[in-house]
Each structure stands twice: as C-alpha cells, then as structure tokens.
Amino acid sequence: MTKRIRYPLLLCLQLVTATLVLLPFFWMFSVSLKPATEPFAIPAQLWPDNPTLENYILALRPEFQRYFLNSVIVCGATLLITIPLALLAAYSLSRFQFRLLSVFLGAVVLAQFFPAGAMIIPLYKIVRSANLLNTYLGLIIAYITVTLPVAIWMLRGFLLKVPKTLEEAAAVDGASPLRAFFDIVVPLARPGIIATSVFVLIVTWQEFLFALSFTSSKEMRTLPVGMNDYIGQYGIRYGELMASSVMISLPVIAIFFFLQRQFVAGLTAGAVKG
C-alpha cells in the first residue's frame, strides 16, 4: 500500500479506537451534568443545554458517604495487610531455594486462579460462624484471598531483579540478614511495591462478589454494592447514577494517572518476562 493511502487510513483507525475508548466516558460525564428537569432528547443529545452540578449534590447523600467510607476502610486495611505479608513471602521465594518453598510458590501461583465462586460457600460459612458477616474484618478476610497471591507473584518478579550482590556486600560488612532486608531490599523494591499497591487498590476498590454476599445491612455496603442497589432505587434517574459513577471512579483513576508510569512498567515487566 502506498504511503498516501496508508497514513490517512491509520489515522482513521486511531480515531475509531479513541472514540471506542472515550465516548462512554464522555457520555457518563455529560449525563452527570444534565439537569433533572431537562428531558432526555430522543435520539440522545451529546451535551446538555444547561450543564449543572446538581446531580452531584443529590448523589452525595449520607448513604453514599457511608459506602465511600466503608470502601476506603476495607480497601485501605486490605492493602496494609497484603503488602507487608506479600513482601516477606516474595522475598523468601526470590532468594531461597528449598524444596518446600517451591511447593509454596506453585501453590501461590495456582491460588491466583481459584474461582471465587468455587470458594465462596465455605468462606461464607467460616465468616458467618466467626460472627463476622456485616463487619469490616469479614470483608477484609475475603479480600485477602483476592489480593495476596497476586501481590506475592508481582513482588517476587520485582525482587528477582534486585541484585543479590548488595545484600552479600552488606553481610560482609556485618549487617544481619534482617537489616539487609529492611535497609537495602525494601528501598530498592519501592517501585515494585508502588506498582503492586496500585494494582491491589484497583482490584479491591471494584470488588463486588464478596462484598455483595458478605454484607446484608445497608450500613456495611461498599461502593460497588451500593451502586448496584441504586439501579433498583433510582433506576430512571440516570443523571444521579452517572454522577455517583464519576465520583466512585475518580479516586482510582486519579491514583492510576498519578502513578501510571511505574504501574504500567511493573505490569508489563511481570507479564512480558514472567
């Protein structure tokens, strides 16, 4: 194909891709600004005549604030438990080669792919018999099953790239293995820890199945479950629904853009070389 045809064709395809990715977002935003009094034009109108923030004010009702708080607490606690435990395990799996450890490694890799649906009934019974249904701790326990194996796997990938020689040098200088771990390995693994943390946050912020099954009281709902309830309650009030959607998505999107470079580097390093 000559360059003259090929170039515009590629530009067109790129425009189609950009539209596919961005149009739904644009529409979500546009509808969130539409006044409740402005009727939906048929066929749909791409931008409201009188954009307003009233949907956001309506959507910020007390229950939404409660869901938001619940999500922050559960996701934050899951992150704070997952990362240290995963870092320790990943260090062990990246530095030592005992038979039992390779069994652990295999078990962790396999566990990443356990269907939540296949574990959920016994897990529900455990949580119920510990009286932890409708509690933060009950949700955190369930979330750890989602985050821990994948965090170990990601962090191990990063730690394999931290050269051993630095720890050996520290050992020669008389530093204990523990000191070498905290003073040398952890700081060097920082980009990996950040990338893994972003991944864990993205996954837990949207977790739905466990949150839906392990909470029945409204006070304990997380954002995704609360949003799902909204469909029944405010089904036709799309403006409010879209305003809530924007507000739920903003925190993860912000964190993601803020740390994007490190995150994508981490994601692709693991997958390409893994």
Partner 1 sequence: MWMAYGFMMPAAILVAVLMYWPMIATVRESLFTTSFINPKPQFVGLKVYADIFSDPVFWQVVRNSIVWTLGVVLLQNVLGFFIALLLNQHLPGQGILRSLILLPWVLPGVVAAILWRFMYDPQLGLINSFVLRFGLADRGIAWLADPSIAMAAVIFVAFWKGFPFSTVIFLAALQNVDQEQIEAAKVDGAGPVRRLFDVIIPAIIPVAVVNFLLTTILTFNYFDIIYVLTRGGPLNSTAIFPTQIYEIGFGQFRFGEAAAYGTLSVVILVMIVAVFMLIRRPLLSHREV
Shortest Cβ 258–partner 1 spacing (Å): 12
- 132 to 191, contacts with partner 1 by CB under 8 A? 141, 144-145, 148-149, 152, 177-178, 181
**Cβ density class 202-239: b for 16+ within 10 Å, e for less:** ebbbbbeebbebbbeeeebbbbbbbbeebeeeeeeebb
Residue 27 lies near partner 1 (rule: CB under 8 A): yes
Q: How far is the CB of 50 from partner 1 (least distance, A)?
A: 18
What's the rounded Cα separation, in Å, for the pair 160 and 246? 38
Our finding on whether 88 is near partner 1 (CB under 8 A) is yes
Q: Alpha carbon of 138 to those of 9, 76, 141: distances in Å?
A: 53, 14, 5
Q: Which of 175, 209, 237, 259 binds partner 1 (CB under 8 A)?
A: 209
Burial 59-70 (b: 16+ CB within 10 A, else e): beeeebebbbeb
Query: Measured from the CB atom, is 29 or 52 closer to partner 1?
Result: 29
**Distance in angstroms (rounded) separating the CA atoms of residues 104 and 118:** 21
- Residue 27 or 56: the one with the smaller Cβ distance to partner 1 is 27
Stretch that binds partner 1, among 49-57, 61-69, 102-110, 156-164 (CB under 8 A): 102-110
- Binding residue (CB under 8 A) for partner 1 from 57, 166, 171, 264: 264
Q: Is 65 in the site for partner 1 (CB under 8 A)?
A: no
